[in-house]
Structure 1
Amino acid sequence: MTQKTSEFALGWKVLLAGLVGIAFGASPVPFNTLGFVIGPIHEEMGWSFAEISLGFSIFGIAASLLAPVYGWLADRYGVRIVAILSTFAFAVTFALVGLTPASIVIFYLAWFLVGLIGIGSTPVTWSRAVNMWFFTNRGLALGILLLGTSLSALVVPRVAVWSIAEFGWRGMYPVVALLPLLIAVPLAYLWFREPRPEEAPEGLMAGGALLGMTLSQSLRDRRFWTMWISIACVALAYGGAHVHMPEIIKQHGMDAQLAAGVMGTIGISIFVGRLLTGWLFDRLWAPIVCLPILLVPALACYWLQGTASDETRIYLSAIMLGFAAGAESDLIAYLASRYFGMAHYGKIYGMLYMPFGIAASLSPVLYGHVRDVTGSYDGMLQASMLLFVVSALLLLTMGRYPDFVAEASTIRPEAPVET
């Protein structure tokens, strides 16, 4: 393909199927429903809010640890079959959470099962195919793909609220599970696939084979661990700030209505952040794009400290944090493909998704612990300022993107190639 527009002309169906798959997959759906069922589950079961929330943490950590396994399956057997089967399995296991008896151990096992099976319905798989269809416009395509989380935030809470009103919290799970089952899976079956060699963009293959490093080569590369630490820092700083934002705002003397408006602002800034950063990635060196995007949230954390009720600063802080969240997911997929290639992308992305998922699952617990111990979020906000700065500065040490096409041309045909 030689023209920039041809990538979208050939790959738009795959991109749309991936966007819907992410929207109704295991990454955003549990996150967008948990807040609506905590109260009803607490009333019926008598479990504490912390005990109920721990189920979500178990899900997130289990899924993150298994991300490299699903990445390997996508590399080995093709991304299409892994994405479709995992999305179907996620729908089934998510529906089964509604059958949980009055046993918190079984409740935790149910969430562990959702994480065990559903991780293949996350960007670990969908982003692999999109990266294979797009090269010149890869950043923008990934930004569009990950707008699936914004679509989920618009659709899933409304379906959850309606189904709880009609069928109770138990009925909510099978009703919401119909979204991946009846929309994401059929669309993926019709449109989601990897490109044939003649459809792939230039710079992706040589001699019909995908270019890039193996996982073992990546693990020996300093840049891999630089990215790993940077991703963990951002997720640890942002995850709890998002979940606890309504409570943070309350400490500034503001009411629930304003808190809802601030959360809406975060959603909009995530949407804009993904598109803008993706567009910039295609034109500039990605780490330099991320420098201001990851530094300004440090200022947001500074403004969110204390109890001053400056409404303008609160909204600006929400916008800054939303931009960082919008850039982070794009960053993992984009940098993994540019620095390590596509030959073993699934495994490598899975390893880089691991710190994101684990840190994002633990971050709310840390924010809550600091609040419980000190009566304020200030201590964790100060730590998050440092984490954002460290993350941004680490990325500046990554160096230029490798030229896998040039490297491949220097390998003699008889030279062994690691698989």
Structure 2
Amino acid sequence: MNTKKKKFHYAWLLLIGLSIMVALGKNGISTAGGLYLIPVTQDLGIGMGSLTLYFSIASIVTMIFLPIAGKLMAKYDIRLILVVSIILMAGSFAMFGLMSSVWGWYLFSIPLAIGSIFVTQMAGPVLINNWFKKHNGLAMGLMVAIGGVFGAIIQPTVGNLIATQGWRFTYIASGITVAVIIIPIVLVILRMSPKQKGLQPLGMDDVKSSEDTLGQQDVAQGVSAAVAKKSSAFFALLGFFFIITSIASFSQHLAPFAIGAGYDIKFAGTALGAMQIGVLVGALSFGVLSDKIGARNTAIFAMLLGLVPVGIFLTVPDNQTLFIVAVVIFGFIVSSLGTLGPLLTTALFGNKDYSQIYSTAAIGLAVAGIVALPGYGYIFEFTGSYTFVLYALVIMLLLNALLVFLAFKGKKKLEKAGAWN
């Protein structure tokens, strides 16, 4: 029992490794994809809507594969799953650098999406829930915040590489670098549960419980997946996931938006790097706020805060200083996807069937990618601006605040019905 009394718990080391993996996967591959849109469309003569359709294909694959992903994570060694996933994800991204037809993006978006499910979506929330009994919100916030630190470095670097070395070289170099760094981290540090290291979850010794099994408290408290999926709270959460992903998806179009406002590709990279500073601060803030005032109040606050950057984009996009300020604040909202989504799931339904509920609700993320990412591209292609998109973002931010409120009303119904146990 003395292992759980150590000042330093292995969970923190795992969190560092996990955060680096997610950070490189997201910022080196997923969110960096927006920087390539203008150079690729101009070089190959592809329409913006046609190219961004690969995001839609990736989202369809994600939607289909998400329920399977939860089962695979429960059945197989997490290290094997993640190594294969990183090879699929990073390898596909590198292959984009060799393509000369839009069909190449369509084809390789399939393995890229499958790998991304595990690396950037599922591994973080699931492992943190397994390893952190206390400070769950802080851990989730730190993971996203570390991603912000990496993003603040990676995004400007990618922008500069595209400007100086070309998009083909940058695709290939980014994919190879991400794989080479992440695979050793996965093999050496990551483990599915504390049992594999002979430990209890962090903070388990502080939980006043008579249960004598690892994670029993986590498993026992909450709503079953079968009941949760039929509840109004679940459908509100599904809607929240769809809308917050649609909002955050605009980050993929920030580079084309910046260029359309009169800036160059280097400034666009700098702006995306600044956005990652917002992700860093937002993730830490939202994680701590969730622990202090609850996931509901934090989520509503985040949605209302999102009105500020959208207002700046609509009114003074040509002011460089205010543009950077807006991008930083928008990073707050992007961070809420990685922090508030998982935290809201736990707050609404507990940990009883967390992975099943979260993976099903996360289908909302995939559906949003199917609709929003190419939708924004086609709006830009047909109208020559993102003005209509920005007005849509205002509506979605307000609607999402309402959905959070409705979700917690649904939770009260579950509690009254005795479904929470």
Mapping for residues 18-417 of structure 1, pairs under 5 Å: 18-25=18-25, 29-33=29-33, 35-36=35-36, 39=39, 43=43, 45-77=44-76, 79-100=78-99, 102-150=100-148, 151-152=150-151, 154-155=153-154, 158=157, 162=161, 169-193=167-191, 194-196=193-195, 198-200=199-201, 201-202=203-204, 206=211, 208=213, 209=216, 210-211=219-220, 212-240=222-250, 242-245=251-254, 248=257, 262-306=271-315, 314-360=323-369, 362-374=371-383, 376-399=385-408
- CA separation of 1:369/1:75 partners in 2, compared to 1, >3 Å: closer, same or farther? same
Q: TM-score, normalised by structure 2?
A: 0.80
Q: In the TM superposition, what whole-angstrom CA distance separates every residue of 1:78-107 from its partner, at most 9, and x where no partner exists?
A: 54442333223323333344444x554344
The structure with the greater share of residues assigned to helix is 2
2-side partners of 1:50 and 1:334: how far apart? 33
CA–CA distance in structure 2, aligned partners of residues 146 and 388 of structure 1: 21
Q: Kindly tell me: are residues 103 and 88 of structure 1, through their superposed partners in 2, closer, same or farther at Cα, counting changes over 3 Å?
A: closer
Post-superposition offset of 1:239? 1.9
Distance 1:390 1:47, change over 3 A: closer
- Offset at residue 298 of structure 1 (A): 2.1
Q: Which residue of 2 aligns with 1:417?
A: none
Alpha-carbon distance between aligned partners in 2 of 1:373 and 1:171, rounded to the nearest angstrom: 30
SS of residue matched to 1:199: coil
Distance 1:245 1:393, change over 3 A: same
Contact 1:7/1:134 (<8 A) preserved: no
Alpha-carbon distance change, 33 to 243 in structure 1, aligned in 2, over 3 angstroms: closer
Rounded to whole Å, the distance in 2 between the matches of 1:324 and 1:118 is: 21
* Cα 1:86/1:372, change in 2 over 3 Å: closer
% identity of equivalent residues: 21
**SS of residue in 2 equivalent to 1:322:** helix
8 Å CA contact 2:27, 2:154 repeated in 1: no
1:240-296 CA distance string (max 9 Å, x none): 2x3344555577677878766654432211110001111111222111122222112
Letter aligned with residue 344 of structure 1: D
2:271, 2:324 within 8 Å by CA — same for their partners in 1?
Answer: yes
Contact 2:34-2:254 within 8 A present in 1 as well: no
Cα distance in 2 for partners of 1:126, 1:23 equals 10
Superimposed CA distance per residue, residues 312-362 of structure 1 (whole angstroms, 9 cap, x where no aligned partner): 654543343221112232011222233333443333222232222432453
Task: Give the 3-state SS of the residue equivalent to 1:85 in structure 2.
Answer: helix
The alignment yields a C-alpha RMSD, in angstroms, of: 3.9
1:59 alignment partner AA: A
195-204 or 376-385, which deviates more: 195-204
CA distance in 2 between partners of 1:315 and 1:205 (Å): 52
Following TM superposition, by how much is the alpha carbon of 1:192 offset from its aligned partner in structure 2, in angstroms?
0.7
CA contact (8 A) 2:96 2:104 kept: no
Q: Which amino acid aligns with 2:233?
A: R
Structure 1 gap ranges (5+): 412-419
Superposed displacement of residue 11, structure 1: 0.7
SS in 2 for 1:192: coil
Q: CA deviation at 1:138?
A: 0.8
Given that 1:252 and 1:307 are in contact with CA atoms closer than 8 Å, whether structure 2 keeps it comes out as no
2 CA distance for matches of 1:316 and 1:354?
32
Instruction: Give the AA of the match of 2:242.
Output: A
Amino acid at match of 2:237: M
Distance 1:245 1:88, change over 3 A: closer
* CA distance 1:398–1:5, change in 2 (3 Å): farther
Whether the aligned pair in 2 keeps the contact of 1:87 and 1:121 (CA below 8 Å) is yes
1:372 to 1:92, Cα distance in 2 relative to 1, 3 A: closer
Structure 2: which 5+ runs fail to align? none
Once the two structures are TM-superposed, the CA of residue 109 in structure 1 deviates from its matched residue by 1.2
Q: Give SS of 1:135's match.
A: coil
Is the CA contact 2:63–2:367 (under 8 Å) kept in the aligned structure 1? yes
Relative distance call for 1:7 and 1:182 in structure 2 (3 A) is: farther
Q: Report SS of the residue matched to 1:396.
A: helix
Residues 155 and 272 in structure 2, CA contact (< 8 A), matched pair in contact too: no
SS at match of 1:220: coil
